[in-house]
Amino acid sequence: MIKRNSHTFKLDKAQQAELVRILKAGNYIPVDVPHTLIAVDGPDCKINLYKSGKCLVQGKGGEDWISFVLEPQVIKEVRLGYEDVLSPEMFENHMGIDESGKGDFFGPLVIASAYVDEGIVASFREIDVRDSKTVTSDRKIEQMARSIRDILKGRFALITIGPRAYNRLYSTMGNVNKILAWGHARAIENLMEKVPDCPRAVADQFGPERQIKQALMKNGRSIKLVQRPKAESDPAVAAASILARAGFVRALQVMQKEYDVTIPKGASEQVREAARVIVKNRGPEVLLDVAKCHFRTTDMVLGAAGFDRTVLGKEGQAMSKDVRRDKK
């Protein structure tokens, strides 16, 4: 097991209250730490409980305190060492890849790769890096992405496939997974230029592994590629998911300013209404520049305006299988 001197736990309200009670009643020395509910010096360790609910334990005595106090008295379950024992490879040198925007009608597809080693993983734990889908605030996503970039010091890559390029790729490839494989391969290649000795790349499982391998060029063919479900539990993949989401959110913000319309995420009725407004103001061809036109949403928006896909030309003719089934 890899020995670490920094550990982070997310506590609910009841657990926070119990920890505060224990620390106030026990043999601990209070210290002043900004943004904490309570902070103390304990037996060979420092314990900070932040207002966010994050409990940070640091120091060589931290593991003993966690095993004998935090887990049995506060959390009521054993967590320490679980990831280290079952998935020690999470703390070894590798990169993670993830994407954002795949299920969103508006905006680009953004794919990010991030490199980690044991020290970087420890730093990520201190700022609670996790799957971007668990972070609902755009502002928080950007803050976390900024912190991740500071920690990585350039050891990441970002591939942004704007709507026009995405529609062109889809009209040629006819499959989202092929676009993802191409983007993942580019993210791997670009990061390997910065970290050429990276031995392994981890990504979520979205299609046959051979698709990514076939898309890799010279630099990336030496890397071991691992695809698995729920890969966001890996710290490198979690960091990549936040970097990708932040890039996607920024792109939507730029688009909102350019078209003077609030642009929602996803493919809801609110999204369709925003698309109808943009088409009314700029014409139907604008969808090629703002949206992923293989979505069924395209047909709904164009139909409401009295058009069909032919108005979009070759790049707008490709559609998803769901749309083709609906048209039969």
Residue 65: CATH number of its domain: 3.30.310.10
Share of the chain above pLDDT 90, in %: 66
Residue 80 included in any domain: yes
Q: What is the pLDDT of residue 272?
A: 96
Residues 206 and 125 in one domain: yes
Residues 227 and 92 in one domain: yes
Query: How many whole angstroms separate alpha carbon 328 and alpha carbon 60?
Result: 67
Ramachandran bin of 229, using left for φ above 0, alpha for ψ from -120 to 50, beta for the remaining angles: beta
Q: Determine the structural domain holding residue 305 and report its residue range.
A: 259-327
Share of the chain above pLDDT 70, in %: 90
Taking the whole predicted model, whether its pTM rises above 0.75 is answered as no
Looking at per-residue pLDDT, the higher value among 131 and 85 belongs to 131
Q: Looking at the 3D structure of the chain, how many domains does it have?
A: 3
Residue 1 included in any domain: no
Average pLDDT taken over every residue of the chain = 88
Looking at per-residue pLDDT, the higher value among 316 and 36 belongs to 36
Residues 243 and 309 in one domain: no
Residues 174 and 239 in one domain: yes
Cα separations in angstroms, 99 against 113, 225, 260: 9, 16, 26
Closest among 62, 86, 74, 117 to 1, alpha carbons compared? 86
